[in-house]
């Protein structure tokens, strides 16, 4: 067991965790933030994507201990504090970029990491940024369109 | 299938000396953690079950990347694939390494995975290996007996096996500066699966002479076509000193494909090797001809 201090969605958390706890399980089990999904558990599907110090990572392949002292953003922290949806979330709703929703939180966070780095991405750059997020409802094109629409809105 | 981690002890030492000392105590009961994108997967799938996981990321000085004409490129063992992408020094001196970084995984993996980890995992399809072989790169290894340097071409012992001892720690990768009128290229073909693992990866580094008309020197690295990443010595020998003609690269590519030793999908992999060797040679020559080379 060890004590870790992690800032999640702007809130500081101190917790006792076993050494083998992943960041994903820490978020879901210890903090009860269920928005981050567990998919393949081996870094292939992207359902567990969160931002760690601003970078998109597979939280299933990060130990909670490795997140000690770092900042994590999950889908729960994406909407603004006044509960208004983030432009990405709005665009996903408007463009029908959600079907079953299992990949959505990961998609949103990969897209957020992209727009933080490249505010006006090309379609190719959106595709590359989402390459690590699998959608089995075959909604890729609506998702790409949503990300581009959000980028446009945010740059307005 | 339950893909969860079994219990282990985690430590995060602050110096290489501490890592070496821990490895001396734990021996093969320990695994080194850099990016974790291979190690944690192996642990979840049952391929590895270390009692101790030693996280290298406490040694922040090992996350570095520098270039000087004398030392060439130095890549710390914590440098991620993400930091290779779009890096001005990489773009200026070794654009082939940006191609290799792009071939590997996807953004979430590249945020964590390290170049050194990609070498130490020793997957036959690792995307960094062909380029580092073709660039004659070396790794610095710390151990209880002290520090030593090993050429990358000597490090691979078999699929997912290296010659490194349980007490060895790779701390840095060094890529020597290229001579004038030189450049490299990495071309790859992925399998079309969830992870888009590389089916064949080919790196070529050329040095031109005679105003760009002759191949003065060449090195070719092949990935995913043999139990380990390999060079293509017969194709290299064939090309060395030859004048560039329309058919030269096609012939050389045929020789390199013949040297490959694919274990599965052999006929297809050989054919793709032939195609990619020709592409990589052409791109390397093209880059070497532009701007006086060194690209």
Q: What is the pLDDT of residues B147-164, one digit of tens each?
A: 999 999 999 999 999 999
Question: Going from the N-terminus, what domains does chain A have, and what CATH number goes with each?
Answer: 2-77 (3.10.20.30), 87-155 (1.10.150.120)
- pLDDT at position B1 is 62
Return d(Cα B21, Cα B77) in angstroms, integer.
18
- Which chain A residue has its CA at the smallest distance from B52's CA? A19
The minimal CB distance from B44 to the residues A41, A45, A113 is found for A41
At the fourth CATH level, the homologous superfamily of domain B182-289 is CO dehydrogenase flavoprotein, C-terminal domain (3.30.390.50)
- pLDDT at position A116 is 97
The minimal CB distance from A19 to the residues B10, B44, B45 is found for B10
- Which chain B residue has its CA at the smallest distance from A125's CA? B107
What's the mean pLDDT when you consider all of chain B?
96
Beta bridge partners of B139: B150, B173
> CA triplet B36, B127, B95: central angle to 5 degrees?
115
Query: Chain B contacts of A51, Cβ < 8 Å?
Result: none
- Provide the residue ranges of all domains of chain B, joining segments of one domain with +: 9-58, 62-175, 182-289
Pairing of strands B52-55, B30-33: parallel
Which residues have CB under 8 Å from A150's CB, separation 6+? A87, A88, A90, A91, A111, A115
Return d(Cα A118, Cα A130) in angstroms, integer.
13
Return d(Cα B283, Cα B113) in angstroms, integer.
27
- Asked if B179 and B205 count as a contact pair (C-beta separation under 8 A), the reply is no
Q: What is the pLDDT of residues A47-75, one digit of tens each?
A: 999 999 999 999 999 999 999 999 999 99
The reply to whether residue A49 touches residue B108, judged by beta carbons under 8 angstroms, is yes
- Asked if B173 and B186 count as a contact pair (C-beta separation under 8 A), the reply is no
Query: Chain A contacts of B7, Cβ < 8 Å?
Result: 18-20
Fold of B62-175: 3.30.465
The minimal CB distance from A43 to the residues B7, B82, B108 is found for B108
Task: Return the CATH number of the domain spanning residue range B9-58.
Answer: 3.30.43.10
Q: Which helix (H) or strand (E) holds A5?
A: strand A2-8
Q: List, in sequence order, the alpha helices (H) in chain B.
A: 16-26, 39-45, 81-84, 88-93, 95-103, 107-112, 115-121, 128-134, 233-239, 248-259, 266-289
Considering only CA atoms, which of B69, B56, B65 is closest in space to residue B85?
B65
Q: What is the pLDDT of residues B14-53, one digit of tens each?
A: 999 999 999 999 999 999 999 999 999 999 999 999 999 9
Kindly report the nearest CA distance between residue B202 and chain A, in angstroms.
22
Mean pLDDT of A141-153: 97
Kindly report the nearest CA distance between residue A131 and chain B, in angstroms.
6
Phi and psi, residue B166, nearest 5°: -60, -20
Q: What is the pLDDT of residues B170-221, one digit of tens each?
A: 999 999 999 999 999 999 999 988 778 999 999 999 999 999 999 999 999 9
Q: Which helix (H) or strand (E) holds A17?
A: strand A11-17
């Amino acid at each position: 067991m060890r004590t870790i201090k992690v800032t999640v969605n702007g809130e500081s958390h101190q917790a006792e965790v076993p050494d083998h706890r992943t960041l994903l399980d820490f978020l879901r089990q210890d903090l009860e933030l269920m928005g981050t999904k567990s998919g393949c558990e081996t870094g292939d599907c992207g359902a567990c994507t969160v931002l760690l110090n601003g970078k998109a990572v597979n939280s299933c392949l990060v130990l909670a201990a490795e997140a000690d002292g770092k900042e994590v953003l999950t889908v729960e922290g994406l909407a603004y504090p006044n509960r208004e949806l983030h432009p990405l979330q709005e665009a996903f709703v408007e463009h029908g970029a959600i079907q079953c929703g299992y990949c959505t939180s990961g998609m949103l966070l990969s897209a957020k990491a992209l727009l933080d780095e490249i505010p006006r991405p090309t379609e190719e750059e959106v595709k590359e940024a989402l390459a690590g997020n699998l959608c089995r409802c075959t909604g890729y094109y609506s998702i790409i369109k949503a990300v581009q629409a959000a980028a446009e809105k945010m740059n307005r | 299938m339950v893909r969860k981690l079994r219990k282990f002890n985690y430590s995060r030492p602050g110096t290489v000396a501490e890592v070496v000392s821990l490895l001396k105590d734990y021996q093969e009961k320990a695994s080194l953690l850099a990016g974790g994108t291979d190690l944690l997967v192996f642990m979840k799938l049952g391929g590895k079950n270390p009692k101790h996981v030693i996280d290298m990321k406490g040694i922040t000085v090992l996350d570095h990347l520098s270039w000087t004409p004398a030392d060439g490129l130095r890549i710390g063992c914590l440098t991620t694939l993400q930091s290779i992408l779009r890096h001005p020094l990489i773009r200026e001196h070794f654009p082939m390494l940006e191609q290799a970084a792009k071939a590997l995984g996807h953004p979430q993996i590249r945020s964590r995975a390290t170049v050194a980890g990609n070498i130490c995992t020793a997957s036959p399809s690792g995307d960094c290996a062909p380029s580092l072989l073709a660039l004659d790169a070396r790794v610095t290894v710390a151990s209880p007996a002290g520090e030593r340097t090993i050429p990358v071409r000597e490090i691979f012992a078999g699929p997912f096996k290296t010659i490194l001892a349980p007490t060895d720690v790779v701390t840095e990768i060094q890529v020597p500066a290229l001579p004038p009128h030189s450049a490299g290229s990495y071309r790859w073909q992925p399998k079309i699966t969830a992870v888009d693992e590389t089916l064949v990866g080919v790196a070529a580094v050329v040095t031109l002479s005679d105003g760009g008309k002759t191949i003065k020197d060449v090195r070719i690295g092949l990935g995913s076509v043999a139990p380990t990443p390999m060079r293509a010595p017969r194709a290299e020998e064939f090309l060395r000193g030859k004048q560039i003609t329309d058919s030269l690269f096609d012939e050389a590519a045929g020789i390199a494909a013949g040297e490959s030793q694919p274990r599965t999908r052999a006929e297809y992999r050989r054919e793709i090797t032939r195609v990619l060797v020709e592409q990589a040679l052409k791109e390397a020559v093209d880059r070497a001809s532009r701007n006086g080379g060194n690209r």
